[in-house]
Structure 1
């Protein structure tokens, strides 16, 4: 029946049995037979046919939107079935490196449609649990990653700005030095304090920079951040000041379970390496 409905929509569009048949690679008699079968099944006439023209009947006009919906649904079904049949990589990543995650997906897509990628933005704790439970295939994690995972494709994000609450004494400085952080509470999204910086560390769970900025705005501390966050986040209650703290950076790596290695996972590793080496 789907084939006959497809024939109906094509004839309705072309208002010509011969042109519709040519579009679908059919003979004109076969097209006429398909329409006749559909009319019998529906119990109504769909077209008025003369030697000179083809017109939709009132019933045909009423049924055409439903026929088009059937065709669209069938196409959607086919497309979704093809997507589900593909091997799919589930990649968890911290929002801070979302630009890289998108580039990785484009790299894999450039290799062909055989591998699908599902992205999940997640903090470290959530990503580690998902990776351990097999809910994701791989995750981009701040290092060091838990020892049970294999890691590769390390890269660094430079930390060169300081987020302070509006009105803070450091907000008007052209650049803040490490020495000026003495006495400050340094918010740390993750599990380790900032290396080489004075001040008292306060950990923020799950390497969540958004939650840490809320604490900055509330006056709970100051937050060293990468420049890319300072460029993209706009808040009236937080100020971003350049920070000169030496070689301060966050190191990330792609991590996965050694028990769940697949050809698709190896393709992902290669795509990450390509994305890092070629900007």
Structure 2
């Protein structure tokens, strides 16, 4: 079978998502008959039915469900390749780093300062977004590397380096009844209002929507919420807030992530620098798992 074209994948994805040929054709800006013929040709070439059609509805076959997932992934990879090539072709090379606001465990200033001294270093642009968006921003080519937290992060298609593992603390206003405790456990926090980031799809009861760290800290100071966060936040607290160790909260691991297989010299230098700075900060190098990358 000849290699499929991205146009064919885009046609199929539109139909599979809309489950309606008319709406899919309108979305694609083409007439419905050519779209129907294109999908039929695609099924013949592949030798499997992708859609079940009748006069009332369109549904995906098991093969169609698999092909939808893989087609989205393939189209995303093409888009990412274009973005990375466009950035690489610009006269002044730059490295784009993505992270959530305050999500560097206090490491980034030292990493950037040390990176500037590396002969392979290039200027670094920083993109801030929610924790749930960061990995996708790397995968789709908008960023070259990211500082992420391992828990609840889909790392598909990424290489990673663990930088720092921290215990967690709860941030409280001084007036909170737990503020004077030496430590707390998660059960002590039951019923408290916790934050969820605006882009977080898991909106649950007792969760207050927040957009950034500054807003979160203001809400905590007002007694509207509390937050369980990595212990490094201690160095960034406002005077009207305090933090208490949470003894049974799972430690959180800060990782560096980049597209799988990428070995550019500027990226390799950034990974080397970040792991060195993190090892120095943690002062227990044995806990930092290293998988070095080499420039080609």
Q: How high is the TM-score relative to the length of structure 2?
A: 0.51
Tell me the equivalent position of 1:225.
229
Normalized per residue, which structure has more strand?
1
8 A Cα contact 1:186 1:222, kept in partner: yes
Aligned: 1:246 with 2:255: no
8 A Cα contact 2:179 2:244, kept in partner: no
Question: Which structure's CA Rg is the greater one?
Answer: 1
Unmatched segments (≥5 aa) in structure 2: 1-89, 282-296
Please report the RMSD computed on the Cα atoms of aligned residues, expressed in angstroms. Answer: 3.4
Cα deviation for residue 139 of structure 1 reads 0.9
Q: Which runs of 4+ in 1 moved over 4 A?
A: 188-193, 203-206
Cα deviation for residue 241 of structure 1 reads 3.6
Alignment partner of 1:258 out of 252, 257, 260? 260
Normalized per residue, which structure has more helix?
1
Q: CA offsets, 1:120-146, max 9 Å, x none?
A: 151324534532342221111122433
Helix, strand or coil: the match of 1:110? coil
Tell me the equivalent position of 2:171.
163
Tell me the equivalent position of 1:172.
180
CA 252–192 in structure 1, closer or farther in 2 if over 3 Å, else same: farther
Query: How many angstroms apart in 2 are the aligned matches of 1:172 and 1:98?
Result: 24
Alignment partner of 1:117 out of 120, 123, 136? 123
Aligned: 1:92 with 2:94: no
Helix, strand or coil: the match of 1:175? coil
CA 243–92 in structure 1, closer or farther in 2 if over 3 Å, else same: same
8 A Cα contact 1:93 1:119, kept in partner: no
Query: How many angstroms apart in 1 are the aligned matches of 2:201 and 2:270?
Result: 28
CA 156–186 in structure 1, closer or farther in 2 if over 3 Å, else same: farther
Cα deviation for residue 116 of structure 1 reads 0.9
Q: Number of paired residues?
A: 187
8 A Cα contact 2:105 2:233, kept in partner: no
Query: How many angstroms apart in 2 are the aligned matches of 1:130 and 1:205?
Result: 20
Q: How high is the TM-score relative to the length of structure 1?
A: 0.54
Instruction: Please show how residues 1-279 of structure 1 align to structure 2 within 5 Å.
Output: 87-94=93-100, 95-97=102-104, 99-112=106-119, 114-123=120-129, 124-143=131-150, 144-187=152-195, 202=207, 204=209, 208-236=212-240, 239-246=241-248, 248-258=250-260, 261-279=263-281
Query: How many angstroms apart in 2 are the aligned matches of 1:274 and 1:135?
Result: 26
Unmatched segments (≥5 aa) in structure 1: 1-83, 194-199
